């Protein structure tokens, strides 16, 4: 615990310039990635999680900018530091596994030479060293090194995703960010890739941020979880704590909305409504319009982030009642008429 | 397939249904003069009783979407036959085809693409009625009824709105309402919630379940998602490379899968709970090519249990009683 | 997979025709193009009022001599030809022919090309193969010689020029429309129309065509320039309709009368400039429309 976290995100805000004005897609979020842990960043579309992933890798869209906050990599701030330091950190320190590996692989080059390219140009290896390292990486992610000389189209989706993981690990980064790494894959392949990630994380004691919309992926892989809603962190903590004892109604809703193989008898509980429009100025709790437990204070005041005795953090005015709300939240009737 | 079936014939019955596509030719094919085919659907039998909900489970490329399109006469089979309420659909034309269209509808996967961007919501919902020549005076009532069935507000709330102005969850309910406006007996739902956010997914699934039950609709849910199938289907078929490898009552099938492929699927699904099995998957490698019609079992190269017989002889779907059937030599 | 893109695709959805038009009018090139067309139309409509003389009349000076090769003056705004005809009035009269030829040909090209493209793209198969081979054939024929041959074989008339332009230009439109139909046809809402019982005609004209119409306008606007240019070219080489004094005819008249060597710029520059302006206007509009219709092509 005394270990310095690999990455600490402090009060990060990111804004987009759009035709409808400035949209604060990420609004003052904080969390940290402990060494050797997988942190799951969950939330639905429009909650800002890809923006967080992109800000950390330093590859934000042209129209976006970091409006405030710090990104401390091994205690050094990337945002206020020289741009060159951030550029140097990219791939060497912080690497990235995209949702679809096809985007990161060039179709006209052999896969092996693409990995070697990274090793030679970013990692300063000789060609022979790079070749050996590429073979080792292939074995690490469960691919046959004999296929290094093939082209991306000869690989299936799952194999390409393995290549993307190998590429991300090429320079022994201290942090790997994976953006929905299994979303586009079939169930079985998905599980195979999750197992590769799990296995590698154990062996290399990797630190990872896994961006996903899928609670079950978090439950399967992640040690820590950060739940985002409308650009804010609503709840964070150890996966067990957050998923088993959710303290924020949104997290309660998310865990109930997921169909479960073994408990299909009960009704799925939807969260009615949709996320707020972030181009408007918002007062109060952002989940309030969809929350069945909201009080007048939720409309007027922003909830402060509280810390539970377990170390979990959450931002809800009704945290004192969380035990009771949890029980109520499992009843579909609770969510059908938001107060 | 079982108890739900009260009349003499099932609502939908397919026999030996096959759909093959010309595969892209390789150089070697040109020399050998072959015209290779991909068998998207390869001789499947399928039977859906009135009011029954059947799940069609499989990975992408297994032919499940093609099966759905065949049943709705959106594409023609290369071999085999389909009977809808006892009538063969392959020769339907003109008014008979329109009558069939009124009774068999499709719910699309991507609600953002399934609605004409230039049509208002009102026009989208009335379009099926216009197409099938339902008298204009009744349109408004029928549309309102369909909206109520999917638990959307009345039409006045959608006045002048276009599809891009609604959220994904609302759009998918509109897509469902459009299918219901013709008061069909049978719907095919192709991955109906895969494009939606988790929080709205549950709402759409509940509506589908409710509508199906109250209207007594027969439905074929096409999905890769076991949990969805578990949630809405009484019977499930598992498809692998154009073949049905296992079928049975959903709860039994998922609890005690008999085919090694089904077993792998069931084991692969992560559940949203922290304490879950991390046991190794009983499967090897990736899906092989569907080019041509290989001998033997199509799953054998991924099957950890495969024996010599699996390569020599194709396993047929065997009846095991209690509605369960499996195509595996070892089950 | 697309779940995270949902919000983006929602925001980026088609803002409707009005929005597109508003954006079109913010592009200075488009505005310039549209202005040129507007002036052309106004001039052509009010040609009778604007002309100071009959373009065909041979004019005489007060002393009874033919008013040939006069420089611009108050009486002859752009001077006269070597046979004493008023250049300014010819120029105004020429706008009428340009308008008739340009717009008729453009409308025919757009309509014919769109129809063929729709049919070929939507029905595919043999029909598509036949129509597209025809298109290849038409594209392979050299443009100007064909127009000249056509004008030469039959009576040289403005109608023939229009027919030549349509026969040779439809494939460009048809091909692009066909390609667009192929993508629109794959959209789920087209399948939705089919499964809800829509006939082929209804799918084609109600669900597919409206989503393609902007392209028709784009190609139509380019065809205007082409048609006017063709008419000018055919007239310039002497196969034009002698009864109609078009800009191309004026150029030809000036050329054979050695107006260039005599430096009678007031005779040949105005019609040349008019042709250039009108052709450029078509491209300006197409350019602006392209930006609005396919914003991804830029940046």
All residues at 6 or more sequence positions from C85 whose CB lies less than 8 Å from its CB, including other chains: C53, C55, C56, C57, C58, C59
The shortest CB-CB distance from A186 to any of B60, B228, B270 is to B60
What is the pLDDT tens value at each position of chain C, 299 positions in all? 333 333 333 333 344 566 677 777 888 888 998 899 899 999 989 988 888 888 878 888 778 788 787 888 877 778 888 788 888 888 898 888 888 888 898 899 999 999 999 999 999 989 999 999 999 998 888 877 887 777 777 766 778 778 888 888 889 889 999 999 999 998 999 999 999 999 999 999 999 998 888 888 888 888 888 888 888 888 887 777 777 788 888 888 888 888 778 878 888 888 899 989 988 888 888 887 777 766 544 43
All residues at 6 or more sequence positions from A145 whose CB lies less than 8 Å from its CB, including other chains: A134, A135, A138, A139
- Measured in angstroms, the CA of C187 and the nearest CA of chain B are apart by 6
B118 interface with C at CB cutoff 8 Å: yes
Residues B194-205 pLDDT 10s: 888 888 888 888
Looking at chain A, which residue has its C-alpha nearest residue B209? A267
Question: Measured between beta carbons, which residues in chain C are less than 8 angstroms from residue A50?
Answer: 4
Question: What does the alpha-carbon distance between residue C173 and residue C131 come to, in Å, rounded to a whole number?
Answer: 13
Residues in chain B: 331
Give the number of other CB atoms < 10 A from CB of residue B112: 23
B178 interface with C at CB cutoff 8 Å: yes
Question: Measured between beta carbons, which residues in chain C are less than 8 angstroms from residue A184?
Answer: 1
A45 interface with C at CB cutoff 8 Å: yes
Q: Would the CB atoms of B114 and C188 count as touching at under 8 Å? A: yes
Mean pLDDT of chain B: 87
Residue A1 has pLDDT above 60, yes or no: no
B202 interface with A at CB cutoff 8 Å: yes
Q: Where are the domains of chain C?
A: 45-297
DSSP state of B90: T
Residues A185-202 pLDDT 10s: 888 888 889 999 999 999
Question: What does the alpha-carbon distance between residue C3 and residue A153 come to, in Å, rounded to a whole number?
Answer: 25
DSSP run (H or E) holding C160: helix C158-185
Alpha helices for B216-300 (secondary structure H): 226-232, 250-255, 260-268
**Residue B90 near residue B82, CB atoms below 8 Å:** yes
Give the number of other CB atoms < 10 A from CB of residue B330: 15
Question: What does the alpha-carbon distance between residue A326 and residue A49 come to, in Å, rounded to a whole number?
Answer: 25
A303 interface with C at CB cutoff 8 Å: no
B:C CB pairs within 8 Å: 77
- CA-closest candidate to residue C288, choices C228, C217, C230: C217
**Residue B57 near residue B238, CB atoms below 8 Å:** yes
Confidence (pLDDT) at B225: 85
**Residue B115 near residue B158, CB atoms below 8 Å:** no
Question: What does the alpha-carbon distance between residue A37 and residue A97 come to, in Å, rounded to a whole number?
Answer: 16
DSSP run (H or E) holding B266: helix B260-268
Residue A184 has pLDDT above 80, yes or no: no
Angle at A86 between CA A83 and CA A87, to 5 degrees: 85
- CA-closest candidate to residue B139, choices B93, B182, B172, B90: B182
Residues B192-251 pLDDT 10s: 988 888 888 888 888 898 898 899 999 999 998 888 888 889 999 999 989 999 999 999
B128 interface with C at CB cutoff 8 Å: yes
- Measured in angstroms, the CA of C125 and the nearest CA of chain A are apart by 29
Question: Measured between beta carbons, which residues in chain A are less than 8 angstroms from residue C9?
Answer: none
- CA-closest candidate to residue A134, choices A111, A109, A116: A116
State how many domains chain B has: 1
Confidence (pLDDT) at B6: 47
Confidence (pLDDT) at C10: 37
Residues B159-179 pLDDT 10s: 889 998 888 889 999 999 999
User: Does residue B4 sit within a domain?
Assistant: no
Residues C173-197 pLDDT 10s: 899 999 999 999 989 999 999 999 9
The shortest CB-CB distance from B270 to any of A219, A254, A269 is to A219
Confidence (pLDDT) at A263: 57
Please, which residues 290-319 of chain B have a Cβ atom closer than 8 Å to chain A?
Answer: none
- Measured in angstroms, the CA of C11 and the nearest CA of chain B are apart by 8
- CA-closest candidate to residue C281, choices C207, C224, C215: C224
The two counts, helices (H) then strands (E), for chain B are 11, 12
Question: Measured between beta carbons, which residues in chain C are less than 8 angstroms from residue B178?
Answer: 192, 196
Question: What does the alpha-carbon distance between residue C55 and residue A109 come to, in Å, rounded to a whole number?
Answer: 68
CA distances from C217 to C29, C96, C185, C282, C290 (A): 16, 22, 20, 11, 10
Question: Measured between beta carbons, which residues in chain A are less than 8 angstroms from residue B227?
Answer: 258-261, 264
- % of chain B at pLDDT higher than 90: 54
The shortest CB-CB distance from A191 to any of B204, B227, B270 is to B270
Question: What does the alpha-carbon distance between residue C288 and residue B80 come to, in Å, rounded to a whole number?
Answer: 53
C124 interface with B at CB cutoff 8 Å: no
Question: Measured between beta carbons, which residues in chain B are less than 8 angstroms from residue C194?
Answer: 74
The shortest CB-CB distance from C188 to any of B113, B127, B131 is to B113
Confidence (pLDDT) at C102: 85
DSSP run (H or E) holding A224: strand A224-229
DSSP state of A146: G
The CATH code of the domain that includes B101 is 3.40.50.300
Q: Would the CB atoms of C13 and B127 count as touching at under 8 Å? A: no
- String of b and e for B136-154 (b: at least 16 CB within 10 Å)? eeebeebbbebbebbbbee
Confidence (pLDDT) at A2: 52
Residue B1 has pLDDT above 60, yes or no: no
User: Does residue B318 sit within a domain?
Assistant: yes
DSSP run (H or E) holding C18: helix C16-24
CA A44 to chain centroid: 11
Confidence (pLDDT) at B324: 94
Three-class secondary structure assignment of C68-123: CCCCCCCCCCCCECCCCCEHHHHHHHHHHHHHHHHHHHHHHHHHHHHHHHHHHHHH
All residues at 6 or more sequence positions from B294 whose CB lies less than 8 Å from its CB, including other chains: none
- Measured in angstroms, the CA of C52 and the nearest CA of chain A are apart by 52
Residue A339 has pLDDT above 50, yes or no: no
**Residue A61 near residue A16, CB atoms below 8 Å:** yes
- For residues A96-110, give the mean pLDDT: 83
- Measured in angstroms, the CA of B40 and the nearest CA of chain A are apart by 17
Interface probe, candidates C185, C197, C214, chain B, greatest B C-beta count within 10 A? C197
Question: What does the alpha-carbon distance between residue B203 and residue A71 come to, in Å, rounded to a whole number?
Answer: 38
Using 50, 70 and 90 to split pLDDT, how confident is the model at B8? low
- For residues A284-300, give the mean pLDDT: 91
**Torsion angle, alpha carbons of B115, B117, B122, B127, to 10:** -60
**Residue B272 near residue A216, CB atoms below 8 Å:** yes
Residue A30 has pLDDT above 90, yes or no: yes
Q: Would the CB atoms of C2 and B131 count as touching at under 8 Å? A: no
Confidence (pLDDT) at C119: 94
Question: What does the alpha-carbon distance between residue C299 and residue C291 come to, in Å, rounded to a whole number?
Answer: 10
Question: What does the alpha-carbon distance between residue C283 and residue C298 come to, in Å, rounded to a whole number?
Answer: 16
Please, which residues 132-171 of chain A have a Cβ atom closer than 8 Å to chain B?
Answer: 156, 158-159
Interface probe, candidates B112, B161, B187, chain C, greatest C C-beta count within 10 A? B112
| Window from A5-19, B4-18, B64-78 with minimum mean pLDDT | B4-18
User: Does residue B229 sit within a domain?
Assistant: yes
Looking at chain A, which residue has its C-alpha nearest residue B267? A188
Confidence (pLDDT) at C251: 86
User: Does residue B70 sit within a domain?
Assistant: yes
Chains that touch B (3 or more CB pairs under 8 A): A, C
DSSP run (H or E) holding B192: none
- CA-closest candidate to residue C255, choices C90, C81, C97, C93: C81
**Residue B300 near residue B310, CB atoms below 8 Å:** yes
CATH code of the region C45-297: 1.10.3720.10
Question: Measured between beta carbons, which residues in chain C are less than 8 angstroms from residue A213?
Answer: 3-4
pTM value is 0.83
Question: What does the alpha-carbon distance between residue A161 and residue A100 come to, in Å, rounded to a whole number?
Answer: 7
The whole domain housing B102 covers: 12-326
**Residue A195 near residue B281, CB atoms below 8 Å:** yes
Find the radius of gyration of the CA atoms of chain B.
Answer: 21
Question: Measured between beta carbons, which residues in chain A are less than 8 angstroms from residue C5?
Answer: 45
DSSP string, A57-73: HT---TTEEEEEEEEEE
Confidence (pLDDT) at C73: 82
Q: Where are the domains of chain A?
A: 105-172, 247-336
Confidence (pLDDT) at C294: 65
The shortest CB-CB distance from A50 to any of C1, C4, C6 is to C4
DSSP bridge partners of A81: none
């Amino acid at each position: 615990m005394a270990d310095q976290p690999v990455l600490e995100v402090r009060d990060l805000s990111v804004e987009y310039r759009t035709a409808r004005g400035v949209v604060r897609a990420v609004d003052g979020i904080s969390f940290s990635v402990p060494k050797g842990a997988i942190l799951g960043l969950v939330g639905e579309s429009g909650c800002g999680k890809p923006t967080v992933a992109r800000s950390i890798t330093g590859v934000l869209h042209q129209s976006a900018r970091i409006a405030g906050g710090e990104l401390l990599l091994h205690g050094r701030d990337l945002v206020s530091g020289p741009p060159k330091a951030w550029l140097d950190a990219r791939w060497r320190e912080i690497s990235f596994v995209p949702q679809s590996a096809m985007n990161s692989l060039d179709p006209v080059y052999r896969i092996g030479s693409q990995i070697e390219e990274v090793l030679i140009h970013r990692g300063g290896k000789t060609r022979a060293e790079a070749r050996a390292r590429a073979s080792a990486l292939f074995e690490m992610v469960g691919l046959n090194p004999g296929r290094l000389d093939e082209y991306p189209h000869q690989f299936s989706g799952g194999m390409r995703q393995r290549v993307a993981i190998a590429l991300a690990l090429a320079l022994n980064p201290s942090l790997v960010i994976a953006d929905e790494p299994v979303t586009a894959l079939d169930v079985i392949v998905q599980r195979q890739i999750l197992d590769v990630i799990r296995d590698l994380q154990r062996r290399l004691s990797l630190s990872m941020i896994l961006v996903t919309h899928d609670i079950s992926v978090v439950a399967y892989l992640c040690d820590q979880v950060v739940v985002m809603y409308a650009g804010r962190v609503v709840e964070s903590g150890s996966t067990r704590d957050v998923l088993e004892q959710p303290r924020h109604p949104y997290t309660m809703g998310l865990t109930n909305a997921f169909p479960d193989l073994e408990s299909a008898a009960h009704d799925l509980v939807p969260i009615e409504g949709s996320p707020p429009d972030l181009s408007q100025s918002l007062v109060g709790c952002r989940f309030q319009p969809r929350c069945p437990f909201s009080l007048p204070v939720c409309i007027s005041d922003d909830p402060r982030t509280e810390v539970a005795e377990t170390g979990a953090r959450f931002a809800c005015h009704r945290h004192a009642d969380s035990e009771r709300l949890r029980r109520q939240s499992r009843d579909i009737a609770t969510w059908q008429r938001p107060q | 397939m079982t108890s739900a079936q009260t009349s003499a014939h099932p609502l939908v019955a397919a026999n030996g249904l096959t759909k093959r596509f010309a595969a892209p030719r390789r150089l070697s094919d040109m020399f050998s003069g072959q015209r290779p085919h991909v068998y998207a659907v390869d001789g499947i039998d399928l039977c859906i009783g009135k009011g029954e909900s059947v799940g069609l489970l499989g990975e992408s490329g297994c032919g499940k979407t093609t099966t759905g399109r065949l049943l709705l006469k959106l594409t023609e089979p290369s071999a085999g036959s389909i009977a809808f309420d006892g009538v063969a659909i392959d020769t339907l034309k003109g008014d008979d085809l329109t009558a069939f269209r009124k009774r068999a509808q499709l719910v699309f996967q991507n609600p953002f693409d399934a609605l004409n961007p230039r049509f208002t919501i009102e026009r989208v919902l009335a379009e099926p009625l216009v197409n099938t020549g339902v008298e204009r005076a009744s349109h408004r009532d029928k549309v309102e009824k369909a909206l109520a069935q999917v638990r959307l507000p009345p039409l006045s709330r959608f006045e002048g709105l276009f599809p891009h102005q609604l959220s994904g969850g609302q759009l998918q309910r509109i897509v469902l309402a459009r299918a219901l406006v013709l008061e069909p007996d049978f719907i095919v739902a192709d991955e109906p919630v895969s494009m939606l956010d988790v929080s709205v997914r549950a709402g759409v699934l509940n509506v589908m379940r409710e509508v199906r039950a109250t209207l007594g609709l027969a439905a074929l849910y096409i999905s890769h998602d076991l949990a969805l199938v578990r949630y809405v289907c009484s019977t499930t078929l598992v498809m692998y490379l154009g073949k049905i490898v296992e079928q049975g009552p959903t709860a039994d099938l998922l609890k005690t899968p008999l085919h090694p492929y089904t077993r792998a699927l069931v084991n692969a699904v992560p559940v949203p709970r922290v304490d879950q099995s991390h046991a190794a998957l009983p499967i090897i490698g990736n899906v092989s090519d569907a080019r041509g019609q290989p001998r033997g079992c199509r799953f054998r190269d991924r099957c950890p249990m495969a024996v010599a017989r699996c390569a020599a002889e194709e396993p047929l779907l065997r009846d095991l009683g209690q509605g369960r059937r499996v195509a595996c030599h070892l089950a | 997979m697309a779940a995270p893109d949902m919000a983006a695709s929602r925001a980026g959805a088609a803002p409707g025709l009005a929005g597109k038009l508003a954006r079109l009018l913010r592009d200075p090139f488009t505005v310039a193009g549209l202005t040129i067309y507007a002036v052309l139309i106004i001039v052509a409509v009010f040609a009778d009022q604007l002309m100071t003389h009959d373009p065909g009349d041979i004019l005489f000076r007060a002393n009874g001599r033919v008013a040939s090769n006069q420089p611009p003056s108050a009486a002859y705004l752009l001077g006269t030809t070597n046979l004493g005809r008023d250049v300014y009035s010819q120029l105004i009269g020429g706008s009428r022919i340009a308008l008739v030829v340009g717009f008729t040909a453009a409308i025919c090209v757009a309509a014919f090309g769109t129809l063929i493209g729709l049919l070929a793209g939507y029905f595919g198969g043999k029909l598509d193969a036949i129509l597209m081979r025809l298109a290849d054939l038409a594209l392979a024929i050299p443009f100007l010689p064909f127009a000249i041959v056509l004008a030469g074989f039959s009576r040289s008339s403005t109608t023939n020029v229009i027919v030549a332009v349509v026969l040779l230009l439809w494939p460009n439109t048809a091909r692009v429309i066909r390609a667009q139909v192929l993508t629109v046809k794959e959209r789920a809402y087209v399948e939705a129309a089919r499964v809800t019982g829509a006939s082929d005609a209804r799918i084609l004209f109600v669900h597919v065509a409206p989503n393609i119409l902007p392209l028709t306008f784009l190609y139509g606007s380019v065809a205007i320039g082409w048609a006017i240019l063709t008419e000018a070219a055919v007239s310039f080489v002497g196969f034009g309709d002698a009864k109609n004094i078009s800009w191309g005819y004026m150029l030809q008249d000036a050329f054979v009368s050695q107006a260039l060597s005599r430096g009678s710029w007031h005779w040949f520059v105005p019609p040349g400039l008019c042709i250039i302006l009108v052709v450029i206007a078509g491209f300006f509009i197409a350019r602006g429309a392209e930006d609005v219709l396919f914003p991804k092509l830029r940046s």
